[in-house]
Homo-oligomer: A and B are copies of this chain.
Amino acid sequence: MTDDTGIGSPEWVELLGREMRKRWSAVADRTEQMAGHALLAPGKMLRPVLLLTSAEATGGDSAQLLPAALAVEYLHVATLVHDDIIDDDRLRRGRPTVHAEYGMADALVTGDFLILNMVTSLSECAAVPRSAVLEAARVLAGAGSDVCRGQVREAEMAGDLSCPVSDYLEMAALKTGALFRGACRAGAVLAGATGEHADAVTRYAEHLGVGFQIFDDLLPYLGDSTGKPATSDVANLRPTHPVLVGREVADDQGRKRFAEALSGRFPAEESHALMRDLLVATGALERSRRRAAEEIAAARDSLDGLPGAAAVEQMRGIADLAIDRSR
């Protein structure tokens, strides 16, 4: 692997994509067909790449860990399939979602099937000691449980502008950070890393997760058109990082306007435009951007002293790209 990689990590992504196609192109039944539909959409394979690079960064060999890397993608894609049911989203990565293509009932079962395949795939890491594989399974299951907690927490927060920024960061660490953390820690565990080295990639992942989520929150206000619809967050009454930061520094009059923008009483386009104006006026966009950059810097620093220099550089590249997705 060269170090000319990042979120794109083209060589890893190609390797993982090839392995994914090998396993999910020729399918045995409709259940596998639906799983394949979800898995074979062109994605960035960010979490599998983090698992493999973490194994190498902590001094291990990633060659035997492809099934584990796929396992973390199964878990991630399961959450996407189920999210799409909840939000009734019809398109993802330019293709119909599983539930748009096959209906709600089958999509729900497909997500369950993918979660269970996480365990099956992990257990295929034959060259790794059984105790390490079991520990990796425990780590990934714990990460998945935390994603669930984060999703429930986020739903509870909907429309709540009085939510402290610290609560928001806790939620983001669960909803988004947990799978990054699970992927990195599982990679280290499977590579036989020392506790200290495993902790280092875990810290990296935690900072990366929060930075990634804050930048995600900024995207709708940066004129970026690659992600979800720009109006999605206000339409779902989500008090995102910049919104909470802006509301915190606003005066009484400003707070009233924040409440209006997140009230759901106006068309989404209108609410979104009002919110953008408020975020610019309060300097919230700049504050959130600075916070995201701080998290990414902390993620980079967490990797100091790890033995796998090339993988460390890749992981730092991934961190940089997390807050500059135009590259």
A contact set with B: CB distance below 8 Å: 29-31, 34, 78-79, 82, 85-86, 104-106, 108-113, 115-120, 123, 130-131, 133-135, 137-138, 140-142, 144-145, 148-149, 151-153, 155-156
Contacts and interface: CB of A to CB of B under 8 A. Distances in A.
Contacts of A115: 112, 115-116
Nearest to A121: B141
4 tightest A-B CB contacts, nearest first: A119-B141, A130-B131, A113-B148, A123-B138
A63 to B, nearest CB: 21
A149 B109 CA distance: 8
6 contacts: A29-B152, A109-B152, A119-B119, A120-B145, A130-B131, A134-B137
Q: Which of A86, A112, A153 has the most CB of B within 10 A?
A: A112
Given A110-B148, A111-B112, 15 more contacts: A29-B149, A31-B149, A31-B152, A82-B108, A82-B112, A86-B104, A112-B112, A112-B148, A115-B116, A116-B142, A117-B145, A120-B142, A123-B141, A134-B134, A137-B137
B123 A134 contact: yes
Contacts of A112: 78-79, 82, 111-112, 115, 144, 148
Contacts of A144: 112, 116
Contacts of A105: 86, 155
A101 to B, nearest CB: 14
A31 B152 CA distance: 6
A181 to B, nearest CB: 14
A79 B105 CA distance: 12
Q: Which of A110, A117, A141 has the most CB of B within 10 A?
A: A141
Number of identical monomers bound together in the oligomeric complex:
2
B85 A153 contact: no
A142 B115 CA distance: 11
Given A30-B156, A86-B105, A120 B138 contact: yes
A30 B148 CA distance: 10
Nearest to A131: B130
Contacts of A119: 119, 137-138, 140-141
A116 B137 contact: no
A109 to B, nearest CB: 5
Nearest to A103: B155
A169 B191 CA distance: 44
Contact of A30 (B86, B134, B145, B152): B152
Contacts of A110: 148
B82 A109 contact: yes
B116 A145 contact: yes
A77 B40 CA distance: 30
A117 B109 CA distance: 17
Contacts of A104: 86
A153 B29 contact: yes
A78 B109 CA distance: 11
